[in-house]
Structure formats: structure tokens, C-alpha cells
């Protein structure tokens, strides 16, 4: 911080080497060549911003380019950034990200507002240094990677180059470490999520206390132990949170096989099979549990298929881009073609691009919409 606060002409070679080695932990900085890193270390300056501080404002001319050194920022489409604190699924950027380069690179106005979600440290490169040290060339390569990624997907084979350029300009690659949550609730998302590198898992949360098989399993344990587990737990706190585990479907199948063996044991003891069913009623808090089941894995060049196609159709209808018959179908169909169950996306070390459905709907054609409809599928029931 002390070096980055000094004027460029006052930084010694030793300080530049130290600053470069410190900044190399930032992925967006590390992608530059060693020579470019040294040049950046000479000109980058340090700024600290408090929570809710707007760093860049939509519609303003870009005069700087930023690296996030610590903290967290959000990308919004309003002027003051307030929607980041109410949006159920804001687009975040954390330590290691960079932003502001597109407006600076093309001489455009900012296409989004950047607001700090917490106290944030930024490293800033100003316009004059940006061009004199050829940062524009590196950022153009990043844009080209996004453009080439979209162009390589069959989903976009009918799109014009102009539309794909617009799409690549309005999104950004996000890196997630192993175990980081990418999406908390698929039933509320208004994005299409593309996997560009690595893998992420699709999990579904199952409340076991609402599963008849779980109630039956508890009853089976009571049969084996010869006592009521439920009565022994009465009087305890009934407001404890779920006990949550993450298991694979294969383990659930093993549990089901175990239940079948217990049923056979109960029958040999002279008990009827229907005696293993739990009576209706709430479980004691100690027995309330839930599990995350991994139901799918997404890899590079795939997208999360639980896309809200109905929302896209409604956007197209508002802009008069659907034939009358299709408009009628949009409003008459009883439910969305998207799987309504909430699912979670968890990174296993991946990079993703999230595309807002509002922006996607401005350019989507009927062929792409048809592919999305055919690609949407409901995952099998866990029960």
C-alpha cells in the first residue's frame, strides 16, 4: 500500500519488484507478461472505498481501469447501485477481478454501475497509463476469449457476429474456488450460467422430515431397538436447525436397500409390513434432517439447463417479437417449463459466465429459443 501510494517516479526498482510479487496473487494481474506486470507496478495506484460507495457510474465516461485487491463489489444497472443490496442474485466480483476496461478500451460510456458491498481496496490504472503501457491489447484478448467461447457453442450458431460481440461486451468471466456457491436457488435466477472451465455440481436440498421413507426408517430403528426413539426425545428444543449432509444418490440407494433388509427382518419377527409406517405428526427436533443430493455435474461448454424460458418469451412478447399464436401460448400455459424445484450450483473449481436474461432476450432468435426449450429438462424425483 505504501509503494502504491507513492508517485510512479519515486518508486525504486526493488519496490517495483516487491509490488509485482505482491500483486501476482491477483488472477487478472497474473495473466499479464512479467514485463507488463512491472510496468503496471510502476503506475498502479491505491484507493480504499467504503461500503455502498459507487466506484463507477453507468453512463459516465470511463477514465480508469481497476483491480480488486480486497473486498467485494457488485455490478448493477441502476445509477446509485442500491439494487445490489435488494437483488436476490447480484453479480459479485471479488479479490482478483478487474473491471472498467471495456469503456476505457473503446472510448465508450460505462455500461454498468459498480458499487462496494463492503470496505474494498482497489488498484487503479488511469487512462494515460492504460494506453501507454498497452493494457488495451490484453483486454482485447480477454474479450476475444469470451466471443470465441460463445461462437463455439451450438446454441449460438444462428447469431450474427454483431449480436455475439454485444453479448461478449455485456458479461464477464467469474472464477470460483472449490466449494464456493455459484447459485443458491435456481427457482429464482434470471440468468443463463455457462461453464467455461472446470466443473460445478448441481445439488438439490431434500427435507427428510417430509419424506415417508425417512419416517419409515425411524420406525424400523424403533423395531430393532425395541423402544420408541420419538418418546425418548420429547421435551427437547424443537427449534434447532436442520442437520444437513451432502450425499450422492448411490448412498441413498444403499439406504433404501438397508430399509428392505430391515423390512425382511421385521417380517421374520412376525410384524406386519404396514406396522413400520410412522404415525402422522411432527418429528422431534433431534430427528429433523436434510441432505444435499448431487444430481448433476456441469463441465466446460455446458450451461445450467434450468433456464426460465417463459420469462424470455414474456420479454419477447413485450417487444412484439413473438407471433400472435405464440403470445397466446405464453399466457395460456399453466406453468413454466423450467424445473420448479430449488437447486444449488456449487463450484468444484470452475470459471463461469452469467448472462442476464433481459440482455439475452434483446438478441435471441426463434432457433435459439427452440434449442433452450428442447434442452430444458426436469431432473428425476429423488423419492
- Specify the pTM: 0.61
Q: What is the mean pLDDT of each run of 10 residues along the chain (383 residues)?
A: 87 91 82 76 92 93 90 91 87 88 78 93 89 73 89 95 91 83 87 95 86 82 74 44 51 46 46 44 72 91 90 84 55 52 90 90 91 79 53
pLDDT at 328: 46
CA distance 345 to 303: 11
Q: Please, are residues 58 and 79 in contact by the beta-carbon 8 Å criterion?
A: yes
Paired sense of beta strands 289-299 and 243-247, if any: parallel
Ordered by where they begin, the domains of the chain are 2-133 (2.60.120.10), 171-204+295-375 (2.60.120.10), 209-293 (no CATH)
pLDDT at 128: 85
CA distance 324 to 317: 9
Phi-psi region of 366 (alpha: psi -120 to 50; beta: other; left: phi over 0): alpha
pLDDT at 270: 47
Q: What is the DSSP string of 339-364?
A: --S-EEEEEEEEEEEEEEHHHHHHH-
In terms of DSSP H, where are the helices of the chain?
2-5, 13-23, 27-30, 34-43, 101-106, 127-132, 135-152, 161-169, 212-225, 229-232, 249-268, 309-318, 324-332, 357-363, 366-375
Which residue reads 488472477 in cell numbers? 27
CA distance 138 to 36: 10
Amino acid at each position: 500500500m505504501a509503494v502504491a501510494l507513492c508517485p510512479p517516479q519515486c518508486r525504486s526498482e526493488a519496490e517495483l519488484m516487491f509490488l509485482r510479487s505482491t500483486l501476482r496473487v491477483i488472477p487478472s494481474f497474473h495473466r499479464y507478461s512479467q514485463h507488463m506486470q512491472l510496468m503496471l507496478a510502476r503506475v498502479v495506484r491505491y484507493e480504499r472505498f467504503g461500503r455502498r460507495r459507487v466506484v463507477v457510474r453507468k453512463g459516465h465516461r470511463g477514465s480508469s481501469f481497476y483491480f480488486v485487491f480486497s473486498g467485494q463489489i457488485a455490478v448493477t444497472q441502476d445509477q446509485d447501485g442500491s439494487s445490489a443490496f435488494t437483488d436476490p442474485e447480484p453479480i459479485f466480483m471479488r479479490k482478483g477481478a478487474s473491471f472498467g476496461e471495456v469503456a476505457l478500451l473503446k472510448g465508450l460510456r460505462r455500461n454498468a454501475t459498480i458499487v462496494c458491498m463492503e470496505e474494498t481496496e482497489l488498484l487503479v490504472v488511469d487512462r494515460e497509463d492504460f494506453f501507454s503501457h498497452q493494457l488495451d491489447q490484453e483486454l482485447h484478448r480477454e474479450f476475444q476469449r469470451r466471443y470465441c467461447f460463445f461462437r463455439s457453442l451450438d446454441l449460438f450458431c444462428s447469431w450474427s457476429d454483431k449480436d455475439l460481440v454485444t453479448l461478449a461486451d455485456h458479461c464477464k468471466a467469474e472464477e470460483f474456488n472449490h466449494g464456493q456457491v455459484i447459485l443458491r436457488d435456481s427457482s429464482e435466477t434470471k440468468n443463463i450460467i455457462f461453464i467455461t472451465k472446470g466443473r460445478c455440481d448441481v445439488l438439490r436440498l431434500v427435507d427428510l422430515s417430509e419424506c415417508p421413507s425417512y419416517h419409515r426408517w425411524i420406525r424400523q430403528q424403533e423395531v430393532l431397538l425395541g423402544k420408541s426413539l420419538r418418546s425418548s426425545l420429547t421435551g427437547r428444543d424443537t427449534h434447532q436447525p436442520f442437520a444437513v449432509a451432502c450425499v450422492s444418490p448411490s448412498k441413498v440407494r444403499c439406504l433404501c436397500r438397508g430399509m428392505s433388509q430391515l423390512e425382511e427382518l421385521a417380517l421374520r419377527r412376525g410384524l406386519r409390513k404396514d406396522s413400520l409406517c410412522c404415525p402422522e405428526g411432527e418429528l422431534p427436533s433431534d430427528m429433523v434432517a436434510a441432505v444435499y443430493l448431487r444430481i448433476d455435474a456441469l463441465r466446460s461448454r455446458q450451461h445450467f439447463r434450468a433456464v426460465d424460458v417463459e420469462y424470455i418469451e414474456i420479454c419477447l412478447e413485450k417487444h412484439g417479437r413473438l407471433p400472435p399464436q405464440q403470445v397466446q401460448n405464453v399466457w395460456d400455459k399453466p406453468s413454466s417449463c423450467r424445473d420448479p424445484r430449488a437447486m444449488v450450483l456449487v463450484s468444484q473449481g470452475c470459471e463461469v459466465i452469467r448472462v442476464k436474461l433481459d440482455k439475452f432476450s434483446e438478441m435471441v432468435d426463434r432457433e435459439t429459443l427452440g434449442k433452450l426449450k428442447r434442452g430444458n429438462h426436469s431432473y428425476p424425483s429423488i423419492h
